[in-house]
Amino acid sequence: MKYLCTYCSVYVYDEDSGDSVTNLKPGTSWDDIPDTWGCPVCGMPKEYLQQIRDDVFAIKMEAYKGQGGTSDLNYYRSVGRKMLTGVCGVFPVCDGKPGRTCVGQKYGAPIGMGGAGQGKTFEANYDALQRYKLKMQVIKAHHEPEMSLSIFGKEIKAPVMGASLSGVKSSMNDAISEDAFYRGLLRGARAFGSIGMVGNTPTSPDDLGIKVIGESGGWGIPMLKPQSQERLIQLIRLAEDMNVIAIGIDLEGAGSTFWAASDKMVYRKSESELQELVDCTEKPVIFKGIMTPEDANKVVDSGANVCYVSNHGGRVLDGGQGVAEALPDIAKEISGKVQIMADGAVRTGFDVLKIIALGADIALIGRTLAQVAIGGGEVAVNMYFKYVKEDLRRAMILTGCDTLEDAAKSILTR
């Protein structure tokens, strides 16, 4: 049997070969590993070792051996590419264009990493953001960009967070366990100096993300699908017990193909139901899936703390607007009333600056973060955030932005 440590998502163990580093002789089965044993990477006990397929073991073993070398972001992307074979090509540009591995109608089959239907909303997210161009303005006294900000009483290094991600079994080749995926996202974001989000999925317990966040003292945000009010309030109570930073409701998840296929019900939510969810907790509440000023005003009226502009990466409604098309009108309507988050094909620090200039307070990264989380866990996720922050620094310098408040729509053209 072959195993992966699901806490660090780095260490791998083969019973036939044993492990000289931790003094396990060849032929040592999982049952025979001493209870005092600890993972040589993260120190966690053997209970975190979970069986993996031979093909995944081979890829992860290569990555594990490379830990002592010069593994960079491209290396972890290449590992992710191998592990996501058939569902995601981990292309140099993740744009949802025809010809990409994930793109095209699936005729009822799982959509993998692609978009719903023909994938036109996924493509629209990329196109809408790229229609905006940054204006280069360099004649100005130098000032090192001020990128940090406070959200939910926590200081983060840059206006970028990890988008809500889940569904390794249904969307990502079942490459690693769901809990290992969550740990990589959450711990990598925290190591960088930001906050990660995790969703919930019908192929795992719906409270798994909350419990994984609890392992790290609550540093993270669970984004819950819109299940029944009764179940959501139960999950919110658990999230409070885990002392999470905030609680999100993934409103556009009402159209999730995965939840529908599993016969687990998800629902649209009325204004009174939003109000009930906000009123049932002292934790900050985020409502995600907002794409019109009308819905944004309803979020404000509910008393929620954050309006999250998102179309679920184009994974629930085909033929829809791109986030960057909808964001300016929403920001014009509610800016200053609640904080605004937005995703939508955000891949680089240059993209982050555009999203901020269009009216968001924080930009969120989805698919490309998932790719590296599969390939390298916490280390790769931390590395990706650093890469984005360096691009953001350069973008702010070259557009004359000394602070995030300077990142207004005036730095953009079309």
Q: Which long-range contacts (CB under 8 A, 24 or more apart) does 152-155 make?
A: 152/195, 152/245, 152/246, 152/284, 152/305, 154/195, 154/245
Residue 46 lies in a domain: yes
Residues 195 and 324 in one domain: yes
Q: Do the Cβ atoms of 292 and 351 come closer than 8 Å?
A: no
Residues 161, 50 within the same domain: no
Domain of residue 383 covers 149-413
Number of domains making up the chain: 2
The owner of tokens 């190591």 is 191
Candidates 242, 265, 101, 271; CA nearest to 172 is: 101
Residues 295 and 408 in one domain: yes
Nearest to 120 by CA among 278, 273, 368, 321: 321
User: What helix, strand, coil percent values describe the chain, rounded to 5?
Assistant: 45, 15, 45
- DSSP lists the bridge partners of residue 161 as 364
pLDDT at 69: 54
Q: Is residue 80 part of a domain?
A: no
pTM of the predicted structure, to 2 decimals: 0.91
In a domain, 144, yes or no: no
For residue 329, is it within any domain? yes
Q: The tokens 């990329």 sit on which residue?
A: 126
pLDDT by residue for the chain (414 residues), tens only, comes to: 999 998 887 899 999 999 999 999 999 999 999 999 999 888 889 998 989 889 889 988 887 776 555 578 998 999 999 999 999 999 999 999 998 999 989 898 888 899 999 999 999 999 999 999 999 999 999 999 999 999 999 999 999 999 999 999 999 999 999 999 999 999 999 999 999 999 999 989 999 999 999 998 999 999 999 999 999 999 999 999 999 999 999 999 999 867 766 668 899 999 999 999 999 999 999 999 999 999 999 999 999 999 999 999 999 999 999 999 999 999 999 999 999 999 999 999 999 999 999 999 999 999 999 999 999 999 999 999 999 999 999 999 999 999 999 999 999 999
Last residue of a domain, which of 12, 43, 70?
70
C-alpha 81/C-alpha 13 separation (Å) is: 22
Considering the domain architecture, whether residues 66 and 155 belong to the same structural domain is answered as: no
Residue 165 contacts residue 365 (beta carbons within 8 Å): no
Does 208 fall in a domain?
Answer: yes
Question: Domain holding 289: CATH number?
Answer: 3.20.20.70
Q: Is residue 109 part of a domain?
A: no
Q: Are 207 and 240 in contact (CB under 8 A)?
A: no
Give the per-residue SS3 of 263-316: CCCCCCCCHHHHHHHHHCCCCCEEEEEECCHHHHHHHHHHCCCEEEECCHHHCC
Per-residue model confidence (pLDDT) at position 66: 65
Check residue 109 and give its pLDDT.
87
Q: Are residues 59 and 168 in the same domain?
A: no
- Asked, for residue 377, whether it belongs to a domain, the answer is yes
What is the pLDDT at residue 299? Answer: 98
95 within domain boundaries: no
